[in-house]
Chains A and B, each alone.
Chain A
Amino acid sequence: MKFQFQDVGQMLNMGGHGFYVWSAVIVTLMIIIGLIIRPLIQHRVVLSQIGQDLAREKLRKRVDGENN
């Protein structure tokens, strides 16, 4: 097994097909990274929303308790 290209420039050029090959690579990487990052962000957002709701509910219960 040997490296198929003389240098980086040749690898980028891909014998004239560089645009097609590399755009496929870039879009693939963007989709893979996006499909990992998005749920990770959502996970934090949802968890903090639930935490805030719970804290608010706790506060309301305490205030209600004092008023009664």
Chain B
Amino acid sequence: MNWTWFYRLGSPLWFYQMTTRWLPWLSLLAFVLLTTGLVWGLGFAPQDAKQGNSFRIIYLHVPASFLALAGYFLMATAGAIGLIWKMKLSYMIMKSAAPIGAALTFLALFTGAVWGKPTWGSYWVWDARITSMLILLFLYFGVLALQYAFHNEESGNKASAVLALVGTVNIPIIYKSVDWWYTLHQPSTIKLTSAPSMHPDMFHPLLVMILGFYCFYVVALCLFTRVEILRRERKTAWVGELAARSSNAVEGAKQ
């Protein structure tokens, strides 16, 4: 079997060139999806019979929570690939996923809090789902902190990857928390195996928002990874050329 594609996938130069070509289109797609979903969800989706308009927070809360979890899974997978195949690009992606995941987990907790106040009467409850999401936030912080805790970059990579992998134990706990401990957080609205427990008029804008958040996540991850590539590959010829060309452009603009 021909494995060259696998090694090319691990090449930072290839990744950089690929994203230069595709990022504008993906950003446009993310922008269109998020704008459509937000206007649709906030203005046109029908009110919820019990919760009134506060339910509209679902259009932010559910996509943010989805990506907080999917992002952790991606970060742990990238860490594992880095540990097993010593792929440079993989560690760069793992490092880039940490701040984005932390921001999205915070967003899931924040939107949950402002949704909880009008619905449950409290911003914060030590419910199983909420507590396990808070642990997810701390895991993201841990991976971030470990990256900077070592002078040697290689050690930082390995330590972060191991923490990320160990932390995946938390992911199924978060998923199942609403079924195992039936406390306050409602069970999931969307399931792979059955129809959503939501009217289609409410569900369609949510679907658009989730797709939009996925596109946005990929864009953000690529942008963070590109910076990391420049930092770690600064000694290579192609980054040198890129830097020389961009500083020439700045000089040209000054004159």
**Which A residues are closer than 8 A to B by beta carbons?**
1-5, 11, 14-21, 23-25, 27-28, 31-32, 34-36, 39-40, 42-43, 46-48, 50-55
Decide: B53 and A46 in contact? CB cutoff 8 A: no
**Which B residues are closer than 8 A to A by beta carbons?**
27, 34, 38, 42-47, 52-54, 56-57, 60-61, 64, 99-100, 103-104, 106-107, 110-111, 114-115, 117-118, 201, 216, 219-220, 223-224, 226-227, 230-231, 234, 239-240, 242-244, 246-247, 250
Decide: A48 and B227 in contact? CB cutoff 8 A: no
Decide: B52 and A15 in contact? CB cutoff 8 A: yes
Q: Given contacts A25-B38, A50-B243, is CB(A43)–CB(B227) below 8 Å?
A: yes
Cα distance, A38 to B154, chains bound together (Å):
25
A13 to chain B, nearest CB (A): 9
Cα distance, A31 to B57, chains bound together (Å):
15
Q: Given contacts A15-B47, A24-B57, is CB(A52)–CB(B231) below 8 Å?
A: no
Q: Which 6 residue pairs across A and B have the least CB separation, nearest first?
A: A51-B247, A39-B223, A51-B243, A14-B53, A50-B243, A17-B54
Decide: B107 and A31 in contact? CB cutoff 8 A: yes
Q: Given contacts A4-B47, A43-B230, is CB(A35)–CB(B103) below 8 Å?
A: yes
Can you show 7 pairs from A to B with CB atoms below 8 A apart? Answer: A1-B44, A27-B107, A32-B34, A40-B223, A50-B230, A50-B240, A55-B247
In the complex, the chain A residue whose C-beta lies closest to that of B52 is A15
Decide: B240 and A11 in contact? CB cutoff 8 A: no
Decide: B243 and A21 in contact? CB cutoff 8 A: no
Decide: B219 and A36 in contact? CB cutoff 8 A: yes
Q: Given contacts A39-B226, A39-B227, A48-B243, is CB(A24)–CB(B219) below 8 Å?
A: no
Decide: A24 and B111 in contact? CB cutoff 8 A: yes
Decide: A39 and B224 in contact? CB cutoff 8 A: yes
Which chain A residues border B240 with CB–CB below 8 Å?
Answer: 50, 54
In the complex, the chain A residue whose C-beta lies closest to that of B27 is A36
Decide: A34 and B114 in contact? CB cutoff 8 A: no
Decide: A46 and B227 in contact? CB cutoff 8 A: yes
Which chain A residues border B118 with CB–CB below 8 Å?
Answer: 17, 20
Q: Given contacts A14-B54, A36-B219, is CB(A28)–CB(B243) below 8 Å?
A: no
Decide: B44 and A2 in contact? CB cutoff 8 A: yes
Which chain B residues border A3 with CB–CB below 8 Å?
Answer: 43-44
In the complex, the chain B residue whose C-beta lies closest to that of A11 is B43
Decide: B230 and A36 in contact? CB cutoff 8 A: no
Decide: A31 and B104 in contact? CB cutoff 8 A: yes
Decide: A35 and B100 in contact? CB cutoff 8 A: yes
Which chain B residues border A19 with CB–CB below 8 Å?
Answer: 114
Cα distance, A34 to B57, chains bound together (Å):
20
Decide: A47 and B104 in contact? CB cutoff 8 A: no
B87 to chain A, nearest CB (A): 21
In the complex, the chain B residue whose C-beta lies closest to that of A19 is B114
- CB < 8 Å: which of A11, A24, A35 contacts B115? A24
